[in-house]
Chains A and B, each alone.
Chain A
């Protein structure tokens, strides 16, 4: 399964970067989301994946008896997911505003070039 996840990380990174290189603002945002997903999977993968053993202590015990999934990356990813949602929401609203003002989602049309030196 690790190999599949490695490929998945690669594909998420590639597509994320590719989308970020587009001119459309919506595509840029999609690219960021894809990249974020890629990073989450990467962190998840790095700590070693364990099937079906959630890091939850059974109700009648005070500690783990057998194997369990690593809780730290999970805590990290959880935070990352929530924060990236805040980013997405903010960017989306900003994008909508920019669209209503300029009538386009072309990034270049937002450029105001500095005056020549």
Chain B
């Protein structure tokens, strides 16, 4: 299994070697890849039905961290794998015609293949970390697919939006996974099943599910993160059909379904999902009917469908989960079909505007039939698969007597409203462009080639097949899916006919109301504009304002701290040190002064001290460069005297030599320079004075405090005792420098020579300016 997934990625990159225009007729054969995978996954259907054993493919990755590339096939992952590869095969086939004139078609297939591999990895992973890795990979590959039309600014922008929203969610998802791991000590999803109670009783439980929700909601475009999905419709239509109806957006649904048995506590988990899912499905469905662009209608109805799925998972009863599993399949079938139909219409007429399109059935008869089937399936008309799912969706809200009788009414009403609008939206896309009078300008449109319409026909056949004989889907896969979410054997089955009951009445009412709504609401650009103006207070706008301000803040922050002036960097660092060290010092240390061991000082020592201090004062305040340099010499030589008095003749010698050299060098180099200019004003001087004096006081206090503790003399003692015995030298300082630490001294010499070379080359270097001047 690992080999399989990796080889998908390798094939993806190999596709790049195909030449876009010359090999364009071969691209349709690429659909063999997903189709072969589809057949491969089909063989697991009997296995998950009968054997009941877990199909696990174990691969070690980083065992010491508990990270593996284990893959596991159960009902849920199998359904998704079949959808990904099955719809994938159709899309690959479809795109070979749709994208045939694109100069970058090889890249397109590369991205698509990588996406497919990532998506398969995501649904098959049994390890949280590898799941997360594939999760991010789907976000990244979808970024490239959405932004495929790189010369279109809107397309680039939408891709960025999609990436940032899903990327943000992915970040929270990772946090959630890590927290689960820190509680249970495992990254394996199977092992988490048995730790469900441990997780739920932990105090971090609510944080974990909140983060998980953020990940799932951003990916599955739940309110208020839904806005990236309509934007993502800027992608080429095959991408919309694949990613944004059947696969990627359902990754969030997959995640929720996967973790329902582990994390569902029957209260908060379900409540949140029902609220968010409920809001999304109503808002999405409502907005969808007021759009003019076919793709926008589909985008919002997809959001609504995702809302329904989250809502059903939230209800969490056996029948609700069955409804959810069914609806995943139903929705994938009719929505992929819708998108591909839109693609054909767009391809042939070069518009997706519903106010313009009509009467296309004369020109595109096969497409029209498929469109009607998809529309009927989305409306839930009997004998389509949509009917079956609509029945049990109503069934699950009806069955839900969790709180009171009222909750049944509210939930059913919500679903009814959603379904009515969705029906109307489906009719808008499936019926409207094809019936009515054919405008003249569409008289001469050419017929789509078979690569475009064949996939839609296949999808329609499945819609009708499952609609007429629901037990095929049920026995085949749906019951296994439900079992893997519900975690116990299920008793419900899919039926075509449930008898005359309230649910059937609701289904009938949905269809009728949907048709009425379809005839009342005419698509017009004015309503679209009206809704667009509402967007100003929409979530997307709020987020962009926040993002803008963060950017502005970052800019100002950087400008403030990174302003290019050396002295302000020094100032910030010093103030920070004063703050943090001073805080620690005055809070935690009681000032003790060692008064016993102090050595007395003589009068001449005091004179040296006064000399240094006054020289420093002169340096600080003088206006003359020469005075400052001479005073610097005074400071250095006085320090030299201190070394003499306190038993450091070597230091005194070095200091004397170096200091003399320094002063000479200063004078040689700088004697021509004018005296100091007055750059800073008094206010700055006072500020700098305060900062530097408090820094000096802090250092002095710390020194004083450190003097209280005797220093460790062991190493010194070793050197002193062995200087003569081992190194045959009597001046211990010298022995240390040239013998014990000989290599250090050698390197120091090298540093000095490098400095000397640097000095020489700077002096020799003449810039062009100077040369011309000479």
Contact = CB atoms under 8 A, between A and B. Distances in A.
Interface residues of A, number: 91
Interface string A70-92: 11101101110111111111101
B516 interface: no
B769 A33 contact: no
Contacts of A47: 711, 716
Given A92-B666, A96-B669, A52 B658 contact: no
Interface stretch (B62-70, B195-203, B232-240, B567-575): B567-575
Contacts of A44: 642-643, 646, 648, 651
A77 B720 contact: no
Contacts, number: 272
B651 A57 contact: no
B673 A105 contact: yes
A106 B678 CA distance: 10
Interface in B700-754: 700, 703-704, 706-707, 710-711, 713, 715-716, 719-721, 723-725, 730-733, 736-737, 741, 744-745, 748, 751-752
Nearest to A41: B639
A37 B639 contact: yes
B616 A75 contact: no
A65 to B, nearest CB: 11
Nearest to B609: A4
Interface in A47-74: 47-59, 62-64, 68-72, 74
Contacts of A50: 646-647
Given A44-B648, A96-B669, A27 B676 contact: yes
A23 B680 contact: yes
Given A15-B619, A42-B703, A81 B679 contact: no
B305 to A, nearest CB: 42
A116 to B, nearest CB: 9
Interface in A16-42: 16-24, 26-28, 30, 33-34, 37-38, 40-42
**Chain A at the B interface: mostly helix, strand, loop or mixed?**
helix
B673 A71 contact: no
Contacts of A107: 565-567
A57 B567 CA distance: 47
Contacts of A18: 620, 688-689, 692-693
Contact of A70 (B629, B716, B763): B716
B697 interface: yes
A111 B733 contact: no
Contacts of A69: 646-648
Contacts of A105: 673
B524 interface: no
A82 B598 contact: no
B122 to A, nearest CB: 37
Nearest to B555: A117
Interface in B601-643: 601, 605-606, 609, 612-613, 616, 619-620, 625, 628-629, 632, 635-636, 639, 642-643
A24 B679 contact: yes
Contact of B692 (A17, A71, A93): A17
A10 B697 contact: yes
**Chain B at the A interface: mostly helix, strand, loop or mixed?**
helix
Contacts of A59: 730
B758 interface: yes
Interface string B648-668: 111100110010011001100
Nearest to A24: B676
A70 to B, nearest CB: 5
B679 A34 contact: no
Interface residues of B, number: 97
Contact of A75 (B679, B703, B733): B733
B41 interface: no
Among A50, A54, A88, max chain B CB count under 10 A is at A54
Given A17-B696, A48-B711, A101-B769, A6 B703 contact: yes
Contacts of B744: 79
Contacts of B564: 111, 113-114
B772 interface: no
Nearest to B608: A4
B690 to A, nearest CB: 10
A74 B648 contact: yes
Contact of B695 (A14, A74, A99): A14
Contacts of A75: 733, 736-737, 741
Given A15-B616, A17-B570, A6 B732 contact: no
B718 to A, nearest CB: 10
A24 B751 CA distance: 27
B669 A95 contact: yes
Contact of A40 (B639, B691, B723): B639
| A-B complex: 5 closest residue pairs judged by Cβ atoms | A14-B696, A10-B700, A69-B647, A86-B755, A17-B692
Interface of A: 1-24, 26-28, 30, 33-34, 37-38, 40-42, 44-59, 62-64, 68-72, 74-75, 77-79, 81-90, 92-97, 99-101, 105-108, 111, 113-114, 117
25 contacts: A1-B599, A1-B601, A8-B613, A9-B700, A13-B692, A14-B693, A14-B697, A18-B693, A21-B570, A21-B571, A24-B679, A27-B628, A44-B651, A55-B720, A58-B730, A63-B721, A64-B721, A71-B720, A71-B733, A71-B736, A74-B651, A79-B744, A79-B745, A94-B762, A113-B564
